[in-house]
Amino acid sequence: MIKVTIWNEFRHEQEIPAIAAIYPKGIHGQLAEALAAEDLEIRTATLDQPEHGLTDEVLQSTDVLVWWGHCAHALVRDDIVEKVHQRILEGMGLIVLHSGHFSKIFKRVTGCTCSLKWREAGEKCRLWNIAPTHPITQGIGEYFELPHEEMYGERFDIPEDGKVIFIGWFEGGNVFRSGVTFERGYGKVFYFQPGHESYPTYYDANVIKVIGNAIRWARPVFFRAHSAPNSPALEEIRSVDTAPHAAVLQNADGTNR
Ligand code: ZN
């Protein structure tokens, strides 16, 4: 079983009736329901729960964390972001959805501003599958379309080591790296663009398929704490430089050390 925690800031659904009508159980509730499968043990967590629902116990028993946030990124506690980051470096998978591109945790794992262009015009979006052999695109055709999405466009400020899985095209003319994977420490990270709160995107079968595939791809191979051990040589080192210039290092005050 893969232990999945779906995190949602859960503000729009409580504050805006039109969005509550689309996601009466919250985006997290819809994702949990749509992703339900025999190999997944799914629970949810939200911003307003104690410790945002991400206690040490929850993080220690999460294989893959799914993240949706938008208007309340700044309210996520830095010490909890730090714990999530450490857990990713140790092996936990992270799936960042839509406006999660500006979350503290995605900025942390990418080291970038994660800025992008956007436009809310309800336009058509076509996602091209450019990595057909990748585990995340299995069961997805050459492309799929969403009738209405918020436009996210380039330039998307993310690191160049991201592997692009989907390229998004928008009716208004923009393109976007809509699905990108990263590896950080022992953890795998996937960013996926669809999911604006005012459209029923998380009811779309292709979107759910991709997120489900990504969860299975990002499951940890193992968890391991990072350390920086001194490494004894495996063989005798015969070429050790014993000349004075190499052996004598000086302290700032001119004495040898
Ligand atoms: Zn949005």
Whole-number Å distance, alpha carbon 40 to ligand 1 midpoint, is 27
Whole-number Å distance, alpha carbon 16 to ligand 1 midpoint, is 14
Give the span between the Cα atoms of 217 and 135, in whole angstroms: 6
Whole-number Å distance, alpha carbon 196 to ligand 1 midpoint, is 4
Residue 239 domain-assigned? Answer: no
Domain of 34, in residue numbers: 2-114+179-218
Query: Which residues are CB-neighbours of 95 under 8 A, at least 6 positions away?
Result: 64, 65, 66, 67, 189, 190, 192, 211, 214, 215, 218
Whole-number Å distance, alpha carbon 151 to ligand 1 midpoint, is 8
| CATH number reported for the structural domain that contains residue 92 in this entry | 3.40.50.880
Residue 150 domain-assigned? Answer: no
Residue 105 domain-assigned? Answer: yes
Query: Which residues are CB-neighbours of 112 under 8 A, at least 6 positions away?
Result: 157, 158, 159
Report the 10 Å Cβ neighbour count for 60: 13
Number of separate domains in the chain: 1
Residue 139 domain-assigned? Answer: no
pLDDT tens string, the chain, 257 residues long: the values are 999 999 999 999 999 999 999 999 999 999 999 999 999 999 999 999 999 999 999 999 999 999 999 999 999 999 999 999 999 999 999 999 999 999 999 999 999 999 999 999 999 999 999 999 999 999 999 999 999 999 999 999 999 999 999 999 999 999 999 999 999 999 999 999 999 999 999 999 999 999 999 999 999 999 999 888 899 999 999 988 777 665 556 666 766 65
Give the span between the Cα atoms of 91 and 110, in whole angstroms: 16
Whole-number Å distance, alpha carbon 195 to ligand 1 midpoint, is 7
Residue 27 domain-assigned? Answer: yes
Q: Strand order of the sheet with strand 64-68? A: 40-46, 2-8, 64-68, 93-97, 187-192, 175-184, 163-170, 117-129, 143-153
Whole-number Å distance, alpha carbon 178 to ligand 1 midpoint, is 13
Residue 187 domain-assigned? Answer: yes
| Angle (CA) 156 31 42, round 5° | 115
Whole-number Å distance, alpha carbon 121 to ligand 1 midpoint, is 11
Angle between helices 205-218 and 26-35 (to 10 degrees): 80
**Ion ligand 1: protein residues whose beta carbon lies under 5 Å:** 99, 150, 196
For the entire predicted model, the pTM comes to: 0.92
Whole-number Å distance, alpha carbon 103 to ligand 1 midpoint, is 13
Residue 80 domain-assigned? Answer: yes
Residue 141 domain-assigned? Answer: no
